[in-house]
Structure 1
Amino acid sequence: MSNASDWITVGALAEGFAPEAFILPKLAELAGRRFTLFFENGWEIDHRFDAEQVHWIATDGHSSGSAAYRATSVRPGIYLVDFIKHEDSKDWSISLVIDSHSQSFTAVIGSLPSAEQTREGLYSRALAGKTLTTVQASFYHGSLDKPWQPGACPHAPTTELVGIRNRYRYSPTEVYEHIYLNPDYYTWQCLKGVEQGLCDTDLCHYYKIADELYLFVWREKIVPTLGLVMIDLQNHRSDGKIFGYAGDRFDSLSNFPVASYCDLLNRTDYGDE
């Protein structure tokens, strides 16, 4: 039976996932390329890629910098780019879904809570009408290399995963199950691995990127964690990352890649309910 001592840090989770992990290789094809991202909210940010780093600068000067990045693709022509941006004395998780087919993108900007925020109890947050998790994520859409116009980005919230029960094999030793309950929550459990026996229900977000291709983001409340993966139901593959504090002192980060072979266990149809 699981108990409180079974919960581990994101850094320990990364160590458990690492041996023989089924991660996708980092793509080299973005090296030398440049995109101007025109956001729906009016931002215009130039992104230039070399072999190791992405360099960005906003036309209005509100953001600029460079960072190491990871680029992968589970579907030809659609890229997931992930990096950490340190700005305004804070670390930000930046994930870009770059869609060359529609010349559009979706950006996910996430952040972790402070040590003080993690000490606020779940019960007090519930009574105050707050989300139970203190992990933050914001979603932005836009167009590539051309000014934004309404409808330019086809990526949109979806309920197509709701009712699905999927199994994810991240390595020979790490296996998880996801049950997509409703548009806002999912349940996970570790079937095999360093978190075996643990489970929870957490806040999540679903976006349809293309036919049977989804961006899935979750925010955990017990161990502050931001998870983000692309799920390809056609090719039974997922790829993304898990972001959190490496240890329990809030002084270092872990942002590690995760990828899986996934299969559908069952699908529940609630009819008109």
Structure 2
Amino acid sequence: MTSSSDWITVGALADGFAPEAFILPNLAELAGQAFTLHFANGWQIEHRFEQDRLAWHAADGHSSGSAAYRATSIRPGLYLVDFVKHEAGRSWSISLVLDTANASFTAVIGRLPDQAQTHEGLYHRALAGKPLTSVDVDFLHGSLDRPWQDGHCLHAPTDELVGLRNQYRYSPSEVYEHIYLNERFYAWQCLKGVEQGLCDTDRCHYYKIAEQLYLFVWQEKIVPTLGLVLIDLQQHRSDGKIFGYAGASFDALSNFPISSYCQVLNHTEYPRD
């Protein structure tokens, strides 16, 4: 059990989550398949899946490469593909929600702060009008294997989780709860595990993918962390990842899977004026 001030690195968190983790299996069924992602912003990037690696190639030739990937499916016809892209001396977290049933996708692109940015205090960031977190994230949408047209991707911001208090059991030893406060922030606390006793309120984003299926993304401000999960309230399961620096030296990354059995504890509805 940690004391109230014992914040740990993302690498130490990964070690805590690993034993007997309830992670979904990495799917092999995408191997040999290819999808061309037509982004709403005009990008066109082919993604070709091999057994252990994913290769991408942009139509304009400005970006190509390959990386090890993880692919899971929390519902039929829906894949979460996650990898880390290293290019031009920088690293990005890339997560793709591939909705094959609707021939559409959502891409989540995350970037961690450099060492200098982490030395900028929260008070200074607040007075400067900056977000308290120094973790950046962008959301891009598009269509699969067909030119983009408005309305092709139905994944959209939602407030349907606001007011929900949900418990997540990631392993026999790691249990958390989330309270979705409003459209921009949520609160979390560790009920059991390597962060037991720790809690915070952080920036977050919600997208509805299908009925009772949500993409939830958060950006932590104390230890630079990007978290991403698909939450299936029908099956009481979640699946995703946590991305951050493995240690305190900023020279290694940790990008580890997290899956849970989740349970709604209650739902707060505020009285109307």
TM-score normalised to the size of structure 2?
0.98
Between the aligned partners of 2:115 and 2:198, the Cα distance in structure 1 is 23
Give 2:48's aligned amino acid.
R
Counterpart for residue 229 of structure 2:
229
3-state secondary structure, aligned to 1:117? helix
Alignment-derived partner of residue 2 in structure 1: 3
1:246: how far off?
0.2
Q: Which residue of 1 aligns with 2:139?
A: 139
- 1:152 corresponds to: 152
By how many angstroms is 1:17 displaced? 0.2
- How far apart, in 1, do the equivalents of 2:50 and 2:213 lie? 27
Relative to 1, partners in 2 of residues 1:101 and 1:271: Cα closer, same or farther, differing over 3 Å?
farther
CA contact 2:142–2:153 (8 Å) conserved in 1: yes
How far apart, CA to CA, are the structure 2 residues paired with 1:263 and 1:3?
A: 26
* Alpha-carbon shift at residue 2 of structure 1 (Å): 3.4
| Residue of structure 2 equivalent to 1:25 | 25
- Mapped to 2, the partners of 1:254 and 1:161 lie a distance apart of 28
The CA distance in 1 between the partners of 2:164 and 2:101, in whole Å, is: 27
Residues 94-145 of structure 1: per-residue CA shift (max 9 Å, x gap): 0000001110000000010000000000000000000000001000000000
Q: Secondary structure at the match of 1:126?
A: helix
CA deviation string 1:194-228 (max 9, x = no partner): 00000000000000000000000000000000000
Aligned partners of 2:73 and 2:178: how far apart in 1?
22
Instruction: For residue 35 of structure 1, give the secondary structure of its aligned residue in structure 2.
Output: strand
CA distance in 2, matches of 1:272, 1:244: 40
For this pair of structures, how many residues does the alignment match? Answer: 272
1:1-273 to 2 correspondences below 5 Å: 2-4=3-5, 6-272=6-272
Structure 1 residue ranges (4+ consecutive) displaced by more than 2 angstroms after TM superposition: 1-4
- Distance in 1, matches of 2:257 and 2:82, equals 9
Structure 1: distance between partners of 2:272 and 2:141: 31
What amino acid is the match of 2:105? F
Task: Work out whether residues 4 and 197 of structure 2, in 8 Å CA contact, stay in contact via their aligned partners in 1.
Answer: no
CA distance in 1, matches of 2:190, 2:95: 25
Partner Cα distance (1:271, 1:110) in 2: 37
One-letter amino acid matched to 2:116: E
Q: 1:3, 1:103 → 2: CA distance?
A: 46
Paired with 2:73 and 2:212, the residues of 1 have a C-alpha distance of 14
Contiguous gaps of at least 5 residues in structure 1: none
Instruction: Please give the secondary structure, in 2, of the residue aligned with 1:170.
Output: strand
- Paired letter, 1:42: G
Q: How much identity, in percent, do the aligned residues show? A: 73
Instruction: Tell me the distance in 2 between the aligned counterparts of 1:272 and 1:96.
Output: 38
Q: What secondary structure does 1:37 align onto?
A: strand
Q: Counterpart of 2:146 in structure 1: which amino acid?
A: K
How high is the TM-score relative to the length of structure 1? 0.98
